[in-house]
Amino acid sequence: MNTAGGAWNPYLVGALIGVLSMATFYFSSKPLGVSTAFARMAGMLGYLVSRKHTDSLAFYQDKVPKVEWEVMLAFGIVLGAFFAAMSGGEFNASVIPPLWEAHFGNSVALRLSVAFLGGVIMAFGARLAGGCTSGHGISGALQLSVGSWIALACFFAGGTLVAQVMYG
């Protein structure tokens, strides 16, 4: 799947994502997405602290905290990204990327704090929007959902704005 430069063929990868999305609909009758997985994992952590309280939350009446295919997909995305980077010769384990260091310095605490805060904001936004980039950008767009196309445009606009503000 690799080219000489290490990059994956985008047409092949796009086709494989389409096949994965079709298989997901066929086998689970649900769209491809991972934001629910993170909510389920948070519920599983909530069970460790107070099962009674977690069970009393309205969200977990419908989305029971348990390992389902979305949770496994989230782990698969991380493993797949690792193997893709390794097979393409592009794996680079660093806490502070060079672009970040050039703009904000080499503080590990700042980098991890901003990354954590960004993750929290994205997770909140995904739950508020009723889906994440894969849920709206892949599954919703494949179904020609107007809301998903609007969400996808907002994802790109927000990403562009944040990149301009942070890296100017």
What pLDDT does residue 56 have?
92
What pLDDT does residue 117 have?
95
Q: Which of 78, 82, 87, 74 is nearest to 8 (CA)?
A: 87
The residue-averaged pLDDT of 24-34 equals: 88
Residue spans of the domains in the chain: they are 1-93
Q: Which of 120, 114, 136, 130 is nearest to 42 (CA)?
A: 120
Tokens encoding 162: 């944040």
pLDDT tens-digit series, residues 101-159: 998 999 999 999 999 999 999 888 888 888 888 889 899 998 999 999 999 999 999 99
pLDDT tens-digit series, residues 83-106: 988 888 888 888 898 889 998 999
What pLDDT does residue 59 have?
87
